[in-house]
Amino acid sequence: MKRLAMMFGCLMMLATPAMAISEFGKQWKNEYLGDGVDDEFKSAGRKAGCYVCHVKGEDKKKVRNEYGKALGEFLDAKDFPKDYLKDNPEEAKAKILEGFKKVGEKKSSDGKTFAEKIKANELPATDAGL
C-alpha cells in the first residue's frame, strides 16, 4: 500500500509540469491557429504539435528548438502549477500570451523575428526537425 501511495505521489509531481506545458500548447494553438488563419499554416501548426517548441525524435523534457528555448526565457512550467491553472485560468492565460508576445520579438536564426515568421504563415523555429 505504501508503494502505491509513493508511486501516486511521484506521478502527481510529474503531472504538474506536463499540465502547464499542455496549457502552453493549448494557448499557442488558440492564439495562432484560430479563425482567420491560413489553412496550410493551421494544418502545419497542428501537425507540428509539440514540435513547435521541441525537436522531433529528442527527449521533449530536455530538448527544445530555438523557439522553445526562447520561449523558456519567458515562461516556466513551474510557474503554472495545476492548482494555479485551475483557480486562475484568465490570469494564467494572460501570462502565457504575454510570454508569446515577448518571444515574438526575439529573432530566429534566419534573422526574422518569431512574430514575423508566424505572421508570414511559417512555423517559428528553423530547427524544428520536421
For residue 1, pLDDT over 70 is answered with: no
The confidence score (pLDDT) of residue 61 equals: 81
Distance (Å, whole) CA 95 – CA 20: 12
| Residue 71 DSSP SS3 | helix
For residue 127, pLDDT over 90 is answered with: no
| Residue 121 DSSP SS3 | coil
Cell of 74: 519567458
Mean pLDDT for the chain overall: 86
Cβ-in-10-Å burial (0-12, 13-18, 19+) of 122 comes to: middle
Tens-digit pLDDT profile for residues 57-86: 988 888 999 999 999 999 999 999 999 999
Q: Which of 55, 32, 63 is nearest to 45 (CA)?
A: 32
Cell of 98: 504575454
The confidence score (pLDDT) of residue 116 equals: 97
